């Protein structure tokens, strides 16, 4: 059983592109936030890798990848050693080039709302769903979703100081697309911050700050990986372990701003052994799907995009009777019957 949990913040921009902090400063912020690894994805460059910034820093594993493409079809590449040329119109060429280097990658923000306050309202959506060979998609991009709430300056300031009032749930289009893709292949879900530590200046300079500082973002939407044993002290071995967990979907996504997601578990108990998130199981083994939650939440079992069971609890189980991908969502209860998205598992694939 995968019994060790490690938390990472993926898709971070540093001063090597349009971020506002150095990789050293980002690692220090991640350490203060209590997470274990960060994924640096500066636009179009691997300078951080080539200048020796990858490695252990402040007890945080710093992994340097890249974000590729410009106006649309942004792709997060990891485990590559050379820059991949942008090919915004034909992202399959980018995916193939990453794979040829032995790398892997994720669709960065499949859908966005955009904001009139940023880039003229541009949304950097993924347009080419005819591609293949990618590992997965980011179902929850924290900065992108917060940005979609800021339709004007008053709203932007309001949600900046009252983030609990913002709608931070993953976009329905992204979730629907993920469920659609899962009908034909394995697609790993990750959560990302897309954080730039963006400096903000509003109301004639009376309001100044960052949206959001790196430490804050590292306490929000993260990807939690599960390993069989401790994360190795040797950096190259640790890097391999993290990348293997991401490739195989041995991970879940959680937003810990309002409740800590650490400690969530979802697995199948067949007649013998355990089937983990991202892995294959068989209905012939009479598996029972098990959820353990760190706090009381609405637990939803989802089969092929449809809720098959929901209950408000700290644990739950479900006995599947049909093949296909099974995943779970946890939503925190709020006043007046509302809920807040909290945790999203990767699927268990039953045949």
Which CATH number characterizes residue 314's domain?
2.60.40
Report yes or no on 317 lying in a domain: yes
b/e per residue 173-182 (b: at least 16 CB within 10 A):
ebbebbbebb
Strand duo 221-227 + 207-211: pairing: unpaired
Report yes or no on 126 lying in a domain: yes
Report yes or no on 132 lying in a domain: yes
Question: Of 200, 233, 255, which closes a domain?
Answer: 255
| Residue 216 to residue 250: CA distance in whole angstroms | 25
Dihedral Cα 181, 148, 340, 137, nearest 10 deg: 20
Dihedral Cα 52, 57, 63, 67, nearest 10 deg: -80
Tell me the longest C-alpha to C-alpha distance in the chain.
66
Report yes or no on 260 lying in a domain: no
Do 43 and 144 share a structural domain? yes
Q: Which residues span the domain enclosing 191?
A: 4-255
Tally the domains of the chain.
2
| Residue 154 to residue 163: CA distance in whole angstroms | 13
Structure confidence at residue 211 (pLDDT): 64
User: For 88-135, what is each residue's pLDDT tens digit?
Assistant: 999 999 999 999 999 999 999 999 988 877 777 788 999 999 999 999
Dig out the tokens for 40 from the structure.
């640096």
Taking the whole predicted model, whether its pTM rises above 0.85 is answered as: yes
Do 296 and 224 share a structural domain? no
3-state secondary structure of 95: helix
Do 101 and 154 share a structural domain? yes
Question: Of 196, 225, 255, which closes a domain?
Answer: 255
The label of the residue with tokens 């971020």 reads: 19
Q: How many of the other CB atoms lie within 10 Å of CB of 124?
A: 19
Report yes or no on 147 lying in a domain: yes
Structure confidence at residue 228 (pLDDT): 96
Question: Of 202, 228, 255, which closes a domain?
Answer: 255
| Residue 112 to residue 132: CA distance in whole angstroms | 21
Do 249 and 271 share a structural domain? no
Per-residue pLDDT of the chain (351 residues; tens, 9 = 90+): 899 999 999 999 999 999 999 999 999 999 999 999 999 999 999 999 999 999 999 999 999 999 999 999 999 999 999 999 999 999 999 999 999 999 999 999 999 988 877 777 788 999 999 999 999 999 999 998 988 888 887 888 888 788 888 999 999 999 999 999 999 999 999 999 999 987 665 444 545 556 678 999 999 999 999 999 999 999 999 999 999 999 999 999 999 999 999 999 999 998 878 999 999 999 999 999 999 999 999 999 999 999 999 999 999 999 999 999 999 999 999 999 999 999 999 999 999
Do 60 and 194 share a structural domain? yes
Do 319 and 196 share a structural domain? no
Do 99 and 54 share a structural domain? yes
Do 216 and 197 share a structural domain? yes
Structure confidence at residue 235 (pLDDT): 98
Structure confidence at residue 151 (pLDDT): 83
Do 173 and 301 share a structural domain? no
User: For 263-306, what is each residue's pLDDT tens digit?
Assistant: 999 999 988 789 999 999 999 999 999 999 999 999 999 999 99
User: In CATH, what number is assigned to the domain containing residue 124?
Assistant: 3.20.20.140
Do 84 and 210 share a structural domain? yes
Report yes or no on 328 lying in a domain: yes
Give yes or no for a contact between 207 and 154, defined as CB atoms under 8 angstroms apart: no
Report yes or no on 195 lying in a domain: yes
Report yes or no on 93 lying in a domain: yes
- Cα-trace Rg, the chain: 19
| Residue 94 to residue 90: CA distance in whole angstroms | 8
Nearest of 20, 49, 11 to residue 210 by alpha carbon? 20
Do 160 and 293 share a structural domain? no
Do 233 and 333 share a structural domain? no
């Amino acid at each position: 059983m995968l019994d060790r949990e490690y938390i990472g913040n993926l898709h971070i921009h540093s001063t090597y592109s349009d971020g506002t902090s150095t990789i050293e400063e980002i690692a220090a912020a991640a350490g203060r936030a209590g997470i274990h690894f960060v994924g640096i994805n500066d636009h179009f460059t691997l300078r951080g890798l080539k200048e020796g910034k990858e490695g252990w820093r402040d007890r945080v594993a710093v992994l340097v990848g890249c974000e590729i493409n410009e106006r649309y079809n942004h792709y997060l590449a990891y485990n590559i050693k050379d820059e991949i040329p942008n090919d915004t119109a034909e992202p399959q060429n980018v995916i193939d080039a990453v794979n040829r280097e032995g790398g892997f990658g994720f669709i960065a923000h499949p859908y966005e709302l955009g904001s009139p306050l940023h880039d003229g309202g541009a949304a950097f959506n993924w347009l080419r769903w005819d591609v293949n060979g990618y590992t997965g998609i980011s179902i929850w991009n924290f900065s992108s979703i917060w940005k979609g709430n800021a339709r004007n300056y008053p709203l932007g300031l309001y949600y900046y100081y009252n983030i609990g009032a913002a709608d931070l749930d993953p976009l329905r289009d992204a979730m629907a697309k993920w469920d659609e893709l899962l009908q034909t292949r394995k697609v790993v879900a990750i959560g990302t911050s897309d954080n730039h530590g963006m400096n903000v200046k509003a109301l004639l300079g009376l309001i100044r700050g960052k949206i959001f500082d790196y430490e804050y973002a590292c306490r929000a939407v993260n990807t939690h990986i599960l390993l069989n044993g401790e994360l190795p002290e040797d950096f190259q071995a640790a890097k391999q372990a993290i990348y293997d967990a991401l490739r195989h979907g041995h991970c879940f996504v959680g937003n810990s701003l309002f409740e800590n997601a650490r400690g969530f578990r979802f697995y199948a108990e067949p007649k013998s052994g355990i089937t983990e998130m991202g892995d294959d199981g068989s209905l012939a083994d009479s598996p029972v799907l098990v959820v353990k939650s760190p706090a009381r939440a609405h637990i939803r079992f989802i089969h092929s995009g449809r809720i098959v069971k929901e209950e408000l609890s700290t644990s739950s189980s479900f006995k599947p009777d049909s093949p296909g991908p099974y995943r779970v969502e946890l939503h925190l209860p709020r006043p007046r019957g509302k809920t807040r998205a909290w945790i999203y598992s990767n699927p268990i694939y039953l045949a």
